[in-house]
Amino acid sequence: MLQRDIFEHAPQAQLLVAPFENKMLAANIKAQQLFLLGDVTNKTITVTSLFKDCLPELYTLSSAAMHHGWAWSENLFFSVPGDSVPLETSVSVIEKHENTLLIFSFSDSIDLFRLRHKSSADRHHHGGFFHWTRTETVFEEIERQNQLLLSAVGDGIYGVDENGCTTFINPAAEFMLGWNKNELVGRNIHDMIHHTHTDGSHYHPGDCPIYAAFHDGSVHSVDDEVFWTKSGQAIPVEYTSTPVTDNGSLIGAVVIFRDITERQKTERKLLNAMREVDSLKQRLELENAYLQEEIKADFNHHQIIGQSAAVQQMVNQIELVAPTNANVLITGESGTGKELIARAIHEASARKARPMIRVNCAAIPAELFESEFFGHIKGAFSGAISNRAGRFELADSGTIFLDEVAEIPLQLQGKLLRVLQEQQFERVGDSKTCSVDVRVIAATNQNLKLQVERGKFREDLFYRLNVFPIESPALKKRLDDLPMLTKHFIEKVCSRSNKSRPKVSLAQLEYLKAYHWPGNIRELENIIERQVILSNDNRLKFDFLSSVISKQSQDNVQPVIKPTNEIQKVKLDISSIELALKQACGRIYGENGAAAILGLKPTTLASRIKKYNIKMHLFRV
């Protein structure tokens, strides 16, 4: 009971604390008065709530006490409305039932200072001149130590009074600002170093956070303003303005600032690097999307199927032009495999490590051509919510394939010509010129020379594209490749659909050879795929083409010139029979024989063949 009374009525404010639980276990009368706690019975109060504005100092003091058994500090303070109370604090450790407790003892530093100062004054008053001299020396030593501390700090520090006039400034601040203390002390610091915003506009003192600190008593921190040096140069700074009080009255502020020029440079470099990473990421994502699209397209691993003379000539041209950087113009009917030729050129070139970017010019709306080709920046037009790289930018160091190039609008052809000539372009909405290294392969099923004559295609662009022309032969010009192509497409379709490979008889191949193939290889692949799906006896049939072949042959054998005499009639008759025999591969009989093609009885046709002495073996394959 006596111990409890001693604790309760101790002359110093005391708290009993459980440090690991952050709990205040007891507070004596002086502590309740100091910390405005009132009756703490049945209350759960955390220690950190009392010192929330100086937690680092609290943690340091507690750790030191637990390590040494006792510790002292004058760095703690307790905040009250409109002021803060600095404290001298001593801490002792109590080990109780294997629990570590701390007992804090507090004294108001200001009261202690007054008491000590009064005691010292009384003592020296009685001690004579020697003691007064000694006291003056002590204060001089304190001032000297304070100056040493201010000089050692790397950050700039200066003080201002309630009128904004400079009271002191440390050497670091002098060095950064170019002013010496004699030029600043006593003068309005805002007018000297903080008078103007970065953009050159006037900085009104009423808006200044430094002034605000000694008006509202709050700490103000800013990280994006500038101070002006004596030479008139703006330096970017971050600063904190802390109010200074005396007996509860605001008398000024202390400003700590730092030159953040190097930090901003580092941040800009990092930001630029992040932008480059984002740009590269976007480009790689777009390239990946294109590559995935190409994988789905399945171009037979870029192998050209065929051994006919037309195909061999085309392959030789590919081998000649592929190692160069020459622009190539591929012409030919639809469905002949022009893109396959472009891909073969790219894969045989030094650019094969980069993607070949395909652009179907016939599928792009006229108003989007420029953006699709060259990209755009954010806000360039309605719907442009972010920067976007164009196809030419994606094809940098690689190849761009312009399919259906005749469909490019005339107004855009000039910009395309510039890219071909100078390898430069601008994104839509951007004034910055981008440079690229792109090889152009173009393709069309139209006669570009005729388009030039009609004024629908620029002549200079035509010659830029047509550096090395390659014709993609129509299937009717390479019928020798039909067996090989048929086998290839059967294997491809069956592999994709997981079906067994059906067979094709020589007779069924004849139907394929007799057909005129307006859709070329694309039509051949589609027909084979359809027949593989319909096949149920492991054999493919193409005799359904006979009706189309018959109509085609009849159209082809219609006389252009009506015979005027018997000799012309005989010549025309012989020509028609030979053409029909050629279409029927030397066969007279059957649904697709020459007789059916001519609309004659087989016996009538055989009689005429004998009459005209037509050599049948010339038409048999």
Compare 136 and 355 and report the one with higher pLDDT.
355
Task: Classify residue 135 by burial, with Cβ atoms within 10 Å: 0-12, 13-18, 19+.
Answer: middle
Amino acid 563: pLDDT = 43
- Least confident range from 6-20, 51-65, 109-123: namely 109-123
Thinking of the domain 153-259, which architecture would CATH place it in?
2-Layer Sandwich (3.30)
Helix (H) or strand (E) holding 523: helix 520-534
- CA 380 – CA 389 distance, rounded (Å): 13
Half-sphere exposure of 158 (CA within 13 A, CB side): 33
The winner for highest mean pLDDT among 67-81, 143-157, 551-565 is: 67-81
> Buried b vs exposed e over 530-553: b needs ≥16 C-beta within 10 Å?
ebbeebeeeebbbeebbeebbebb
Amino acid 131: pLDDT = 42
- Least confident range from 200-204, 320-324, 603-607: namely 603-607
- Least confident range from 295-299, 511-515, 597-601: namely 295-299
- Least confident range from 76-85, 449-458, 522-531, 568-577: namely 568-577
Domain spans in the chain, listed from the N-terminal domain onward: 2-113, 153-259, 298-471, 475-541, 552-618
Residue range 298-324: mean pLDDT, rounded: 80
**What confidence category does residue 46 fall into, taking pLDDT thresholds of 50, 70 and 90?**
confident
Tell me, which fold does domain 2-113 have in CATH? Beta-Lactamase (3.30.450)
79 Cβ partners below 8 Å, 6+ apart?
52, 53, 85
Amino acid 249: pLDDT = 83
Whether residue 324 has pLDDT greater than 90: yes
Amino acid 564: pLDDT = 45
In this structure, are residues 176 and 235 in contact, taking their beta carbons and an 8 Å threshold?
yes
Residue range 424-451: mean pLDDT, rounded: 89
pLDDT tens sequence across 194-230: 888 888 888 888 888 888 887 888 888 888 888 998 8
Amino acid 116: pLDDT = 81
Amino acid 566: pLDDT = 64
Do domains 2-113 and 153-259 share one topology? The answer is yes
pLDDT tens sequence across 125-140: 565 444 444 434 444 4
Amino acid 129: pLDDT = 44
Q: Which two tokens stand for residue 554?
A: 């009849």
The CATH H-level (homologous superfamily) assignment of domain 298-471 is: P-loop containing nucleotide triphosphate hydrolases (3.40.50.300)
Whether residue 459 has pLDDT greater than 90: yes
Whether residue 122 has pLDDT greater than 90: no
Residue range 272-281: mean pLDDT, rounded: 76
What's the pTM value of the predicted model, to 2 decimals?
0.47
Residue range 301-320: mean pLDDT, rounded: 83
Which long-range contacts (C-beta less than 8 Å, at least 24 apart) are formed by 594-599? 596/550, 597/549, 597/550, 597/553, 597/554, 597/557, 598/557, 599/554
Amino acid 268: pLDDT = 84
- CA 299 – CA 83 distance, rounded (Å): 80
Amino acid 125: pLDDT = 58
Amino acid 50: pLDDT = 85
- Least confident range from 49-58, 171-180, 280-289, 367-376: namely 280-289
Amino acid 374: pLDDT = 87
Amino acid 322: pLDDT = 92
Angle (CA) 260-266-268 rounded to 5° is 100
Tell me, which fold does domain 475-541 have in CATH? Helicase, Ruva Protein; domain 3 (1.10.8)
| Residue % of the chain over a pLDDT of 70 | 85
Residue range 487-498: mean pLDDT, rounded: 86
Residue labelled with tokens 């990092």: 270
Average pLDDT, the chain: 81
